[in-house]
Amino acid sequence: MTAMKIGVLAMQGAFAEHIEILRQVGVEGIQVRLPRDLAGISGLILPGGESTTMRKLIDRWGLREPIRRLIDGGTPVLGTCAGMILLSRHIVDGDEPVFPVLDMDIKRNAFGRQLDSFEADLAVPLLGERPVHGVFIRAPVVERVGAKVDVLGRLDDGRIVAVRERNVIATAFHPELAGETRFHRLLATMASDHDEPGEGTERRHHPLRRDGGGRVSSEPVGRDATGAGGWAAS
């Protein structure tokens, strides 16, 4: 059986770490630098880096329209840190959006400079009871989300740092730098569902939850999957 292939935008940032995490979950990671590298992939990761530089390179290498077509066609995408910024519909500090598919407002460098980087454990109920360990490096924060955006994770102070809307997941932190595999497993599950949606059914943009024993649960996921209620960060 041919291994699933998930592309990783390989311009800057921790793309090698994402590819290693994909390997750990049994997925082949493909470095994406040109439009031709998108052929045959079942999902895509937009990693961290410097969002302004990434924007310029995306346009220089002719990737903006091909990636947007993939997203619009339902291909699952994971954006981390700068990748989250690239996927946001509105950037608070004025930059034009690149792939404006997540209905939310995002603020860049919300926690300060590189020296203000930190690590934190946070609850992401969709991924199970064990907390997710995230690395925050010049991280953004979500200031508002729309009605169709699922809030997956918040910091202890209520600020939103992980979301999903349809086929797009985004985190303000770096799960790959902490060795966290569950977001990549979720992406692979979504990619499998997109590739093989099931006979006689529509494609499911949201994979079903699995319980603590690894079994699929039919329990629906609410709009605020953290259980915190509400829509905007407090």
169-206: burial string, b at 16+ Cβ within 10 Å, e else: bbbbbbbbbbebbbbbbbbbbbbbbbeeeeeeeeeebe
Name the active-site residue from 17, 18, 165, 174.
174
Looking at residue 3, its pLDDT comes to 80
* Alpha-carbon span 76 to 224, nearest angstrom: 20
Q: For the whole prediction, is pTM greater than 0.85?
A: no
Task: Per-residue pLDDT tens, the chain, 234 aa: give them.
Answer: 568 999 999 988 889 999 999 999 999 999 999 999 999 999 999 999 888 899 999 999 999 999 999 999 999 999 999 999 999 999 997 788 999 999 999 998 887 666 568 999 999 999 999 999 999 998 999 999 999 999 999 999 999 999 999 999 999 999 999 999 999 999 999 999 988 765 333 433 433 334 444 432 323 333 445 443 332 332
CATH class of 5-217: alpha beta
Cα 205 off chain centre by: 14
Is 176 one of the catalytic residues?
yes
214 burial (CB, 10 Å; 0-12 / 13-18 / 19+) is: exposed
Name the active-site residue from 17, 176, 184, 194.
176
| The dihedral formed by the CA atoms of 198, 101, 45 and 153, expressed in degrees to the nearest 10 | -90
Is 194 one of the catalytic residues?
no
For the beta carbon of residue 160, count every other beta carbon within 10 angstroms: 27
Looking at residue 114, its pLDDT comes to 60
Please state the φ and ψ torsions of residue 89, each to the nearest 5 degrees: -75, -30
Q: Which residue has the tokens 């895509």?
A: 44
* Alpha-carbon span 8 to 104, nearest angstrom: 23
Looking at residue 220, its pLDDT comes to 31
* Alpha-carbon span 216 to 208, nearest angstrom: 6
Name the active-site residue from 17, 18, 81, 184.
81
Do residues 233 and 154 make contact, with C-beta atoms less than 8 angstroms apart?
Answer: yes
Looking at residue 81, its pLDDT comes to 95
Bridge partner residues of 43 (DSSP): 6
